[in-house]
Chains A and B, each alone.
Chain A
Amino acid sequence: MEKADQRMDEIIGRLLQGGVILAAAFVLTGGAVFLARHPTPVTNYRVFQGEPEELRTVSGIFHAALALRGRGLIQLGLLILIATPIVRVAFSVVAFLYQRDWTYVVVTLIVLGLLVYSLLGGHG
C-alpha cells in the first residue's frame, strides 16, 4: 500500500506541474495577443464591473479562445489552471478505486462533486 501511495503521489505531482506549464503557455500567448491589440487605454479596475458573459462561462471561454481573441486565450489558460487540481482529485478517485479503498473513494468523490459544482454550477 505504501509503495502504491508513493507512486500515486509522484504521478499526481507531475500532472500538476504539467498543468501549470500548459496554463502558463496559454496565458503568455493570450497576453501577447492582448497587448498587441490593446495598446491604450488602460481598463479601469478601480470600480468593479464584472466580466462579459463570454469570459465567465466555460463554453464562452472556449468560443473566445477558438476565435483567437487575446482575453479568451488568457482565460482558457486560467481555466486549465483551475482544472489541474480538479483533474488531480479525479485521478485520486481512480487510484483509491484501484486500491479498493472504498472509504476514500467516497471521500474523493465528494470533493470532486463539490469542485465540479463550483465550476459548472452557474452562480449569481
Chain B
Amino acid sequence: MNTLEFTALIGLGALLAGFLGALTGLGGGVVIVPLLTVIFHVDIHYAIGAALVSVIATSSGAAAAYVREGYSNVRVGMFLEIATTVGALAGAALILYLRVSILSVIFGVVLLYSAYASLTEHSDSKKAVEPDRIGTWLKMDSTYPGAHGMESYHVRGVPQGFALMFVAGVLSGLLGIGSGAVKVLAMDRAMKLPFKVSTTTSNFMIGVTAAAGAGVYLSRGYIDPGLSMPVMLGVLAGSLIGARVLAVAKVKVLRLVFGGVIAVLAVEMIYNGLK
C-alpha cells in the first residue's frame, strides 16, 4: 500500500467516523480512535493526537450554527472552562505514566458509557426554581428560546458542576476526545441547566478544552501531519454531512444500529487492552 492509498483509506474511515459521531451525538473524535487502533493498528498516541485535532475542527465548525440559535450560556461555559482546561493539562500529563494497554481499557469504558448515554431517551430533569447563591454571584442565570418564547432559568450546583468538568477535562486530555457526555452530565444533572442549553454550551466548551490538550500533544509529537490530515478533513466533512442528515431525516433506528457498532468497537478496545 502506498501513501496515497493509505491516506485515502484513512480519510474514508474518518468520513464515516465523523458521520457516525454526528448522528449518534458522540462526536467524531471518539469514534475515530477505535477505528484507527483496532482496524488500522495505529499506535494509540498517534490516534488520540489526530482525534483531538479533529475534535477542535468539529466543535469550532459547528459553533457558528449553535450561537445563532441563542441557547449557549457563555458565562457558564467560560467559568467551567477553568476546570476543563486544568483537567485537560492534568490528563495529558497522566498519559506519560500509563501503559498503552491501560489507556486502551479506559478509552473503551468511556466509549461504552458515552454510547449508553447517547442512546438513552432524555427526559428533562427537574429545573431549579430557586436562585442559587453562587450561581447568582457569578451572573449565570439567563434565558433561552423555549416552547413558549424566551424562558428564564436559574443555575445551581456550581461546585459539583465544576468538579465534574474537571473530570471531563482529564478524560479529554488523556484520551484525545471532547468528552461531551460528561460535560452534558455536569450541566444538565448537577447544575440543572435546560438540556438544550447544556448540549450547546458543551459543544462550545469542547473546542477550548481540546485546545488545552492539543498544545501538549503537539509538543510531545503525538500529532503526525500525514495521519492527522486525512483524519481532520474526513471527520470534519463527515460531521457536516451527518448534521445535514440529522436535520432532515428520522434516524432513530440508524442511531441504535450505529450505537451498537460503536459499543462493539469499545469492547474490542477493552479486550485488546486486557489481552
Chain A residues positioned under 8 Å from B41 (CB to CB):
45-46
Give Cα A103–Cα B158 distance, bound, in whole angstroms. 15
**Residues of chain B in range 159-190 having any CB-CB distance to chain A below 8 Å:** none
Whether B215 and A121, one on each chain, are in contact in the complex, defined by CB atoms closer than 8 angstroms, is: yes
Give Cα A67–Cα B61 distance, bound, in whole angstroms. 29
Quick one: which of B46, B53, B229 contacts A34, CB cutoff 8 A?
B229
Whether B224 and A42, one on each chain, are in contact in the complex, defined by CB atoms closer than 8 angstroms, is: no
Whether A13 and B78, one on each chain, are in contact in the complex, defined by CB atoms closer than 8 angstroms, is: no
Q: Give the nearest-CB partner of B36 in chain A.
A: A45
Number of B interface residues at 8 Å Cβ cutoff, please give it: 67
**Residues of chain B in range 1-33 having any CB-CB distance to chain A below 8 Å:** 1-4, 6-7
Give the Cβ gap from A15 to chain B, nearest Cβ, in Å: 9
Whether A85 and B78, one on each chain, are in contact in the complex, defined by CB atoms closer than 8 angstroms, is: no
Whether A107 and B82, one on each chain, are in contact in the complex, defined by CB atoms closer than 8 angstroms, is: yes
Give Cα A31–Cα B232 distance, bound, in whole angstroms. 11
Whether B236 and A20, one on each chain, are in contact in the complex, defined by CB atoms closer than 8 angstroms, is: yes
Give Cα A51–Cα B226 distance, bound, in whole angstroms. 11
Give the Cβ gap from B137 to chain A, nearest Cβ, in Å: 8
Given that A20-B61, A45-B224, A85-B60 are contacting pairs, would A40 and B3 also be in contact in the complex, using a CB cutoff of 8 Å?
yes
B66 within 8 A of A: yes
Whether A119 and B67, one on each chain, are in contact in the complex, defined by CB atoms closer than 8 angstroms, is: no
Which of B69-77, B104-112, B124-132, B253-261 forms part of the interface with chain A? B69-77
Whether B219 and A17, one on each chain, are in contact in the complex, defined by CB atoms closer than 8 angstroms, is: no
Whether A78 and B225, one on each chain, are in contact in the complex, defined by CB atoms closer than 8 angstroms, is: yes
Quick one: which of B65, B67, B223 contacts A51, CB cutoff 8 A?
B223
Give the Cβ gap from B41 to chain A, nearest Cβ, in Å: 5
B267 within 8 A of A: no
B38 within 8 A of A: no
Chain A residues positioned under 8 Å from B138 (CB to CB):
103
Main DSSP-derived SS at the A contact region: helix
Give the Cβ gap from A72 to chain B, nearest Cβ, in Å: 8
Give Cα A43–Cα B250 distance, bound, in whole angstroms. 41
Chain B residues positioned under 8 Å from A47 (CB to CB):
43
Quick one: which of B219, B221, B233 contacts A28, CB cutoff 8 A?
B233
Of listed A50, A85, A120, residue having the most chain B CB within 10 A: A85
Q: Give the nearest-CB partner of A46 in chain B.
A: B41
Q: Give the nearest-CB partner of B218 in chain A.
A: A56
* Binary contact track B131-156/A, C-beta < 8 Å → 1, others 0: 00000001100010000000000000
Given that A16-B61, A51-B221, A114-B89 are contacting pairs, would A123 and B216 also be in contact in the complex, using a CB cutoff of 8 Å?
yes
Whether A30 and B215, one on each chain, are in contact in the complex, defined by CB atoms closer than 8 angstroms, is: no
**Residues of chain A in range 76-95 having any CB-CB distance to chain B below 8 Å:** 78-79, 81-86, 88-89, 92
Chain A residues positioned under 8 Å from B211 (CB to CB):
82-86, 115, 118-119
Give Cα A23–Cα B195 distance, bound, in whole angstroms. 31
Given that A20-B61, A45-B46, A81-B57 are contacting pairs, would A88 and B218 also be in contact in the complex, using a CB cutoff of 8 Å?
no
Whether A119 and B75, one on each chain, are in contact in the complex, defined by CB atoms closer than 8 angstroms, is: no
Chain B residues positioned under 8 Å from A2 (CB to CB):
143
B residues bordering A, Cβ < 8 Å?
A: 1-4, 6-7, 40-43, 45-46, 53, 56-57, 59-61, 63-68, 70, 72, 74-75, 78-79, 81-82, 85-86, 88-89, 92-93, 96, 138-139, 143, 207-208, 210-216, 218-230, 232-233, 236
Between-chain CB contacts (< 8 Å), 19 pairs: A8-B74, A10-B67, A16-B60, A17-B60, A20-B61, A27-B233, A39-B3, A40-B3, A48-B43, A50-B220, A74-B226, A85-B56, A85-B59, A86-B211, A92-B78, A103-B139, A122-B219, A123-B93, A123-B220
Q: Which 10 A-B pairs have the closest CB atoms?
A: A50-B221, A118-B215, A51-B221, A119-B215, A13-B64, A74-B225, A13-B67, A16-B60, A85-B207, A9-B67
